[in-house]
Amino acid sequence: MLIAINEPNINAEGSIRHLEWLEERERFLPFSSKISLAFLLLCLLFLMADHSAPLLAVVLFLLCSTLNAGDDLIESTCKATKFHDLCVSSLRSDPSSSQADMKGLTIIMLNIGIANASETYSYLSSQLLRSGGSSDGVLKKVLKLCAEKYSSAKDSLQSAIQDLSAENYDYASVHILAAADYPNVCRNSFRRYPGLSYPSELGRRESGFQRICDVALGILDLVPVDVIRT
């Protein structure tokens, strides 16, 4: 009999290879962004050149200032995290990051972590289904436990977002730390049984998820002190 786990109703953004995809995307993002901006400026010039030169200048100034401010905040923020490249590429993958403050950038990273954890949950659920005809009850038990832990990690990150919205930053930090620790329970469950080895694919997923959580914590630590409630 097949053992199935009901997958959470989550719209996971991309596959579990999100980290590799973000790093690859980062190589092309600056160039594509310049093209988009140049195209927009040309359109504005065409429409407004004849009779709205002062207005055009104001529009261009505001547009460029907004874009530069968003990029500057992302760059300065990510320099303070342990995984700069992951931080930059992740934040820039979300268009709303250009208008986000420090709290908003943290929420963007948490949403990426939620998608990542949900994707690993789906992966573990599929592995559990494949083992349905197996006589190895221990493997089924461990896979089910691991799936539950990644589901709990997702829930913890969702709780962290709620904490941020309520400006309960200490609780948000606790929930992010808890989320990052859940995959360790999965790893340790494999180690308890000599006949089982921790899959390299699962190890890669664990590492990627924990890096996302680490970046989120790094950004959260940068929330201005005067914003935090005493």
3-state secondary structure 55-66: HHHHHHHHHHHH
Residue type at 158 in one-letter notation: Q
For the stretch 23-77, pLDDT in tens is 444 444 444 444 444 445 555 555 555 555 555 544 444 444 444 445 689 999 9
CA distances from 35 to 18, 28, 32, 150 (A): 24, 11, 5, 39
At 164, list the tokens. Answer: 């941020």
Average pLDDT over residues 191-210: 94
The CA distance from 57 to 180, in Å, is 48
Superfamily of domain 51-227: Invertase/pectin methylesterase inhibitor family protein (1.20.140.40)
Residue 155 pLDDT more than 50?
yes
State the pLDDT at residue 55: 54
Report domain extents, the chain.
51-227
CA distances from 138 to 108, 117, 142, 199, 201 (A): 37, 23, 6, 15, 19
If you compute the radius of gyration of the chain from its CA atoms, what whole number of angstroms results? 22
The CA distance from 133 to 114, in Å, is 31
Which single residue is written with the structure tokens 């990426």?
112
The CA distance from 190 to 5, in Å, is 19
State the pLDDT at residue 21: 45
Average pLDDT over residues 75-82: 94
Average pLDDT over residues 149-175: 97
Percent pLDDT > 70 in the chain is 65
Residue type at 149 in one-letter notation: K
At 118, list the tokens. Answer: 């949900």
Average pLDDT over residues 73-87: 95
Residue 168 pLDDT more than 80?
yes
DSSP-derived letter for residue 9 is: S
Q: Cβ neighbours of residue 140 under 8 Å, at least 6 residues apart?
A: 3, 128, 131, 132, 134
Q: Whole-prediction pTM value? A: 0.71
State the pLDDT at residue 6: 44
